[in-house]
Amino acid sequence: MSTHTTELLLLPYACDACGEGFCERVSLMNLSLGLTEQGFCLACLSTEYGRTPEAMAAFCWDYVKARDCFLDPWQKVDASECPKLFSQSCFCQHSV
Ligand SMILES: [Zn+2]
Ligand SMILES: [Zn+2]
C-alpha cells in the first residue's frame, strides 16, 4: 500500500499514476477511454492525452452522453459527493 492510506479511505478510487483520489465519474471517463485495467485521475489523463483537464472531461462526456450503458451509471452518481469539490472543480459535473 502507499502512503496515501488515510486519503484512500475517503475516496472511492485512486490514480494508478500519482495516487490522487478521483470520483466515480472520472472512473467512468477512464472506461470511456477503454482503460479497464487501470484508472487515472483527470490531471494524469489530460497529461497522457495532451489536453487540458477541462477538454479531457468534455471529450469523455461527449462519449458518455451518446451511450446509454455509460449514461445510466453516470446519471446515478451523486456528483455532489465528488471529493474534488472540496479543493477544486473536477469537471465531472455534467448531466443531462
Ligand atoms: Zn493521477
Ligand atoms: Zn468528480
pLDDT in tens, 53-72: 999 999 999 999 999 999 99
Q: Render pLDDT for 6-61 as a digit per residue (tens, 0 to 9).
A: 444 456 789 999 998 889 999 999 999 999 999 999 999 999 999 999 999 999 99
pLDDT at 92: 85
Confidence of residue 81 (pLDDT cuts 50, 70, 90): confident
Question: Rounded to an integer, what distance in angstroms lies between the CA atom of residue 13 and that of residue 24?
Answer: 7
Q: How far is the CA of 3 from the centre of ligand 2 (A)?
A: 22
Would the pLDDT of 87 be above 70? no
pLDDT at 15: 94
Type of residue at 92: C
Ligand nearest to C-alpha 79: 2
Write the CB contacts of 4 (distance below 8 Å, at least 6 apart in sequence): 14, 19, 21
